[in-house]
Structure 1
Amino acid sequence: MPIPLLVAIEIDPVSSSRLEAAGFGLRVAIDKAERARVISTAGDDIRAVLTNGSTGLDADEIAAVAALEIICALGAGYEKIDLDAARARGIVVTHGPGTNDATVADHAMALLMAIARGIVGADHAVRGGDWLRSRQPRPMISGKKLGILGLGTIGEQIARRGAGGFGMDVAYHNRTPRADAPWLYLPSPLTLAQWSDFMVVATPGGAATRHLVDAEVLAALGPAGFLVNIARGSVVDTVALVDALEHGRIAGAALDVVEGEPNVPPDLARQQNLVLTPHIAGRSPEAVKATVDLVIDNLKAHFGGRPALTPVPGT
């Protein structure tokens, strides 16, 4: 008999079929209201939940799923899963580190190049018949200073692409320096912004990093500096970013993530020196397969009486 699995996030049909073939009966509930309805009717049967860091699973939801044994986060993030509530129940929580790092790093560099070289605006101008307007000088990337805010596995891959592919000088900020990192460590987001031509946000989400990039950091990045965010929308203060873009305090920004997504604030959306993508940095076919592979492996391990492969630290 299939093991009931609550799917709280959007997944593609191929991934759904793979989960079903692995022995799980899917109860799909994407929005919170639908999730509450499914939990109220099937909460006594559901033994596993598939979510991600952006959607999470809160304490009330965890409490309402009486038979819950394991929560799997698709991808590396898990910031909105209530870990304390899970620990109190002895519920296993897993995530997917390393499954989409390369894809996210590729996307970060694509965003960096797109905003620096004005690709989106030039495309729009040419399609509109305005060839001359699109032929304005734009900054080069090679040899510039690349700052990485958060040198985890994704940040490291971005750094290697910048240094090895474009001959960029690289610096980074973490809570503590990494002994194995060959790049310059700077002691704060502010000093990193002051140093950088391009600053890429690659930190985890959650309360500890909320609005880490604020008005002061953006001012330090300066009118020739560019911001790229492939982490979580909450890391950047949206009001401060809109103000910086409107008044030329930074040269431009490229965001794959936005506070409150999928809703994009109108004041942000109308900025011309901005490139937006809909949280797709980790969505390559290769990465999707790898993340679902790991979810299935974790679920099979747990329900087969073995330890999970990639438990969230401390759970």
Structure 2
Amino acid sequence: MPIEILQTGKLLASCEAALAERYTVHKLHEAADKDALIASVAPNIRGVAGGSMQADLMDKLPKLEIIANFGVGYDSIDTAAAKARNIRVTNTPNVLNDAVAELTIGLMIALARRIPQGDQFVRQGKWPGAQFGLFTELTGKTVGILGLGRIGKEIAVRAQAMKMRVVYYGRKRQVREPFIYYSDLTEMARDSDWLVIIAPGGAGTDGIVSRQVLEALGPRGMLVNVARGTLIDEPAMVEMLASGALGGAALDVFEKEPQVPAGLLGLDNVVLSPHQGSATNQTRDAMGALVVANLDAHFAGEPLISAVV
């Protein structure tokens, strides 16, 4: 009999097709009565494809062996609970590095040159009757990267191609990296023109970009978040963007997404994106393939490709 797995959210069509070829898939996100579905299939579920797994759901799946998360971030999974229950957890790193790094640089250019606003200026017939204005550029600026991991390094390389100076903050200095390391995030923000956030979400980073950090970045500073909305003191950020205490922000993520703070919607010094960091066909296909590959490896008794727990 095929191994039975639980799918917790919608996945790319290519991923869902590959899962269906190999496993009996129960789609929790499509169930009209989720509790009833879980009660009916729980004794047979050995794997999960997707995220959003907390301890209470794990406890309902007594034979659960592995959670194959779709995404590099796994803060929607209680990894401590999984480890305590001897449940393996995997994610999908590396395959989305380039896509997220490209979007980051795109957001930076869009904010610096006000590209979305310029598009609207033309569409609304304001040009050539009026001049759009002068803004700024990336060349010669210092970008501070919060989280110099796999994606952070790709952003750094691209920022250097834009003739920017790169510095970074993290839990520890990476001795093989050529960039200047800061052990204090506020100090780095004070010395940076741009602050790019690409650190993992979770309790350890909640609110790490505090009002103090935003004040250090200041009225000429630009903020970019392609990580998790929870890393920023969002109310403070909105207030400071509106008052001019913070120069600008390009945001791909929000604290309570898909809800976006209403205070951001009318600001000209903001570029907003609907969590599109990895949203390319090739990247999402690769992410889905890695979800399937981790499940296949586990049930074949082989080493996991990208284990978290």
Aligned residues: 308
CA contact (8 A) 1:190 1:216 kept: yes
- Give the structure 2 partner of residue 137 of structure 1: 134
- Greater shift, 231-240 or 134-143, is seen at 134-143
**TM-fit CA distance, 1:206:** 0.2
- Give the structure 2 partner of residue 57 of structure 1: 53
Q: How far apart, CA to CA, are the structure 1 residues paired with 2:28 and 2:268?
A: 36
- Give the structure 2 partner of residue 280 of structure 1: 276
**TM-fit CA distance, 1:113:** 0.7
Relative to the length of structure 2, the TM-score reads 0.95
CA contact (8 A) 2:190 2:216 kept: yes
Q: How far apart, CA to CA, are the structure 1 residues paired with 2:206 and 2:294?
A: 30
CA contact (8 A) 1:36 1:61 kept: no
Q: Which one scores higher on RCO, CA 8 angstroms, separation ≥ 6?
A: 2
* SS of the residue 1:300 aligns to: helix
Relative to the length of structure 1, the TM-score reads 0.93
- Give the structure 2 partner of residue 120 of structure 1: 116
- Give the structure 1 partner of residue 16 of structure 2: 16
**TM-fit CA distance, 1:308:** 1.5
Structure 2 residue 234 is matched with structure 1 residue 238: yes
Q: Output the amino acid matched with 2:191.
A: W
Q: Output the amino acid matched with 2:136.
A: P
**TM-fit CA distance, 1:236:** 0.9
Structure 2 residue 78 is matched with structure 1 residue 82: yes
CA contact (8 A) 2:12 2:285 kept: no
- Give the structure 1 partner of residue 6 of structure 2: 6
CA contact (8 A) 2:144 2:194 kept: yes
CA contact (8 A) 1:96 1:295 kept: yes
Q: How far apart, CA to CA, are the structure 1 residues paired with 2:43 and 2:108?
A: 47
Residue 32 to residue 190, structure 1, CA distance change in 2 (3 Å): farther
Per-residue CA deviation, residues 8-48 of structure 1 (Å, 9 max, x unaligned), is: 22212222112212x02222233898644432332222211
Residue 241 to residue 302, structure 1, CA distance change in 2 (3 Å): same
Residue 33 to residue 232, structure 1, CA distance change in 2 (3 Å): farther
Residue 119 to residue 286, structure 1, CA distance change in 2 (3 Å): same
* SS of the residue 1:49 aligns to: strand
Return 5+ residue gaps in structure 1 as ranges: none
Q: Output the amino acid matched with 2:9.
A: I
Return 5+ residue gaps in structure 2 as ranges: none
- Greater shift, 301-310 or 201-210, is seen at 301-310
- Give the structure 1 partner of residue 46 of structure 2: 47
Per-residue CA deviation, residues 207-246 of structure 1 (Å, 9 max, x unaligned), is: 1000111111111111111100001111011101101111
Q: How far apart, CA to CA, are the structure 2 residues paired with 1:145 and 1:69?
A: 46
Q: Output the amino acid matched with 1:297.
A: A
Runs of 4+ in 1 over 6 A off after TM superposition: none
Equivalent position to 2:211, from 207, 215, 220: 215
Q: Output the amino acid matched with 1:25.
A: T
Q: How far apart, CA to CA, are the structure 2 residues paired with 1:134 and 1:155?
A: 36
Residue 37 to residue 266, structure 1, CA distance change in 2 (3 Å): farther
Residue 175 to residue 35, structure 1, CA distance change in 2 (3 Å): farther
